[in-house]
Amino acid sequence: MDDLRKDQAFAFRIITASGDARSMAYGALDAAKVGNYQEADELLEKAEEASAEAHRVQADLLAAEANGEDIKTSIILVHAQDHFMTSMLAIELIREIIDLHKKMGG
């Protein structure tokens, strides 16, 4: 596999895991809106697991570059990092919103 294809494989793994994390986080919010906090908590846990997978892939990419591999910066890789960052933010904010729902008894 040439370097560009390897870089793209890393990027698509990050995009996939981050997209899964974001979708599960919003599913948790939907569950909380109707008062199903057990499902919300379970979905948030799954979102965290998917986010952790994206983080592992990102760490592998960083380690490869630290070990001297020439990692090509591409729009796909930038897009992957954007997905990862926004999914992490979504999880954090949705967790706070769900906590507010619980405190307000809604």
Q: Name the residues annotated as catalytic.
A: 79
Within 10 angstroms of residue 1's Cβ, the number of other Cβ atoms is 8
DSSP string, 40-72: HHHHHHHHHHHHHHHHHHHHHHHHHHHTT--PP
